[in-house]
Structures are given as structure tokens and as C-alpha cells.
Amino acid sequence: MTKTLLSIGHGYSAQAFARILLPLGWRIIGTTRDATGVQALRDSGIEPLVWPSADLSSAISQADCILSSVAPNGDGDPVLNAYGAELRAAAPTLSWVGYLSTTGVYGDHKGGWVSEETPLSPSTTRGVYRRDAEAAWAQLGLPLHIFRLAGIYGPGRGPFAKVRAGTARRIIKKNQLFSRIHVEDIAQVLAASIANPNAGAVYNVCDDNPAPPQDVLGYAAQLLGVDMPVAEDFETAEMTPMARSFYAESKSVSNDRIKSELGVTLLYPDYKTGLKALLNAGE
């Protein structure tokens, strides 16, 4: 029997997930904000809907599973604002709902470790929006699974282009640690969860090796055999407020639960493995 996934905000991570499900016979309805993206979705095997202009009510009623990748804003979660009642009504017919959140909900821990049990104390506006959106999704009575994603990289989203162009910047801030995750590992975590639903579960999705951002750029330069990007002190570097905000939090994120509960073995357990694979694939 064919299962149907409604993917709301069918972007980079959801597309990687779809590449696992489609060969298994899943029907996937995916939304895009841009009408110019319709043909690309159709070509990849997705049934496209342009949202928010299209009505998602019928798609919600047809879905066995739902994934939302839509970011919240100052007005709340756009999906819940538009379809909260429909989602609540559909709860008895849904076997799995996934919400892609961020490790930003934990706030700053000065490089220390956090797990899914760590109290949420976001220190950025984006983190606050995500914390509130998680809570709002949890109130609907859905078979909800929350995935807190670390910094995403993968094909088309690696550091190599900037390093080659000489525009990469090694911003140095003492004790700054970020966690990362390859998009293909996000996809396999989602696939493991949808195959073994555990309503109410929360999962950190990250690799094994939190690392300073300058180390990642330095390793990319080493792989390419080019000069190391110039180091700049965080305190004096010229940065946009958005770029600077990414350095407001430092933490190491534990991924034990995706291994112990979902049986996931990461394809790319650290950034070195991931970057080597990207370069070998022609990045």
C-alpha cells in the first residue's frame, strides 16, 4: 500500500529525505513558494504545490505522514497559523509528523555539552522563534517528532567555493564550537524515524565532532592545496549583524539518541569525512 508524505517547505533537507523514500514507493507531495520551482519538483518525482497560494487542506487529509521544514517568524509558525485546525483534525489518521527545528533552542553553553534533556534557553531571536514553534506543534496532539538540526552542509553547501574564490574568512573567537551535520545524514535519521515512529520524541541531529569554524575552513583549504584563509579576530572583524549572531552561541551537541534509539550509523561522523566526500564527488 502506497504511503503519502506531505512535505511542507520542500527544501534542501526534505529533498534529500525524498531521495530515500521515493525508491521505496512513497508518494510525496511537496510545497514550494516559487512557481518556477514546480517543474524541478515534478522532475524529481514530487507532486508540487505552490504554497501559500495553494490550499493544503486536501493534501493534509490525504497524508499518512507530514514533514514541516518551514521556519517560524515573529508572527509564529506559518504552517500552524494557516492549518493548525486541519492538522489537529487529521491527527488520528497520521502515523508520523516531523518538525525540523534547530540546536539554537539550547542557547549558549560556552562550548559545553547539551542533550535533548537540556533546558531550552535560546539567546537569539531565531532560537526563541524555534522554541516557541516546537511548543506550538507539541500542543496539537499529533504523533510529533522534533529534529534539532545542527549546521547543515552537503552538495552545493560546502566551503570549497569560498575557499577557492579567496573570500573565505577564518573568524577566530576563543572557545567557539559548532556542531554540524551532512544533509545525507539528516535524511537517514528522518528515514529511520519514519520507519520506527516514537511520538513525542526529540532528536539532536549532528555529527560526532563539534569543532571551531576556522578549523573547517582550514581543512577545506588543506584539501584543495591552497593558502590558508586569513585569520580575523571576532572582536574586530567586519561582519553583518546576521553573521555575527551565529557566533553568539557556543556548544557541543550530543547525538547519542539517534544512535541508541534509531540505530543510525552516521555516513559522515565528522567534518573531515564529509568534506573529503564532497571534494571526491566534484564539489
Nearest to 16 by CA among 44, 56, 49, 51: 44
Does 223 score more than 90 pLDDT?
A: yes
Distance CA 120, CA 107 (A): 7
Question: What value does the mean pLDDT take over residues 176-192?
Answer: 98
Per-residue model confidence (pLDDT) at position 131: 98
Structure confidence at residue 1 as a pLDDT band (50, 70, 90): confident
Per-residue model confidence (pLDDT) at position 243: 87
Q: Treating both helix axes as pointing N-terminal to C-terminal, what angle do 213-224 and 271-280 enclose, rounded to 10 degrees?
A: 30
- For the chain, the average pLDDT equals 96
Please state the φ and ψ torsions of residue 93, each to the nearest 5 degrees.
Answer: -100, -5
Per-residue model confidence (pLDDT) at position 246: 86
In the chain, the domains with their CATH numbers are 4-154+181-206+254-268 (3.40.50.720)
Per-residue model confidence (pLDDT) at position 136: 98
Question: What value does the mean pLDDT take over residues 237-245?
Answer: 90
Does 282 score more than 90 pLDDT?
A: yes
Written as one string, the DSSP assignment of the chain is: ---EEEEES--HHHHHHHHHHGGGT-EEEEEES-GGGHHHHHHTT-EEEETTTS--HHHHHH-SEEEE-PPPBTTB-HHHHHHHHHHHHHGGG-SEEEEEEEGGGG---TT-EE-TTSPP---SHHHHHHHHHHHHHHTT---EEEEEE-EEE-TT-SSHHHHHHT---EEE-TT--B-EEEHHHHHHHHHHHHHS--TT-EEEE--S--B-HHHHHHHHHHHHT-PPPPEEETTT----HHHHHTTS---EE--HHHHHTT----SSSSHHHHHHHHHHTT-
Per-residue model confidence (pLDDT) at position 233: 96
Question: What value does the mean pLDDT take over residues 129-145?
Answer: 98
* Site of grid cell 522563534: 129
Query: What are the CA-CA distances from residue 128 to residues 107, 123, 200, 228, 250 (Å)?
Result: 9, 7, 20, 36, 16
Per-residue model confidence (pLDDT) at position 273: 98
Does 245 score more than 90 pLDDT?
A: no
Distance CA 63, CA 28 (A): 9
Distance CA 271, CA 180 (A): 7
pTM of this prediction exceeds 0.95: yes
Structure confidence at residue 280 as a pLDDT band (50, 70, 90): very high
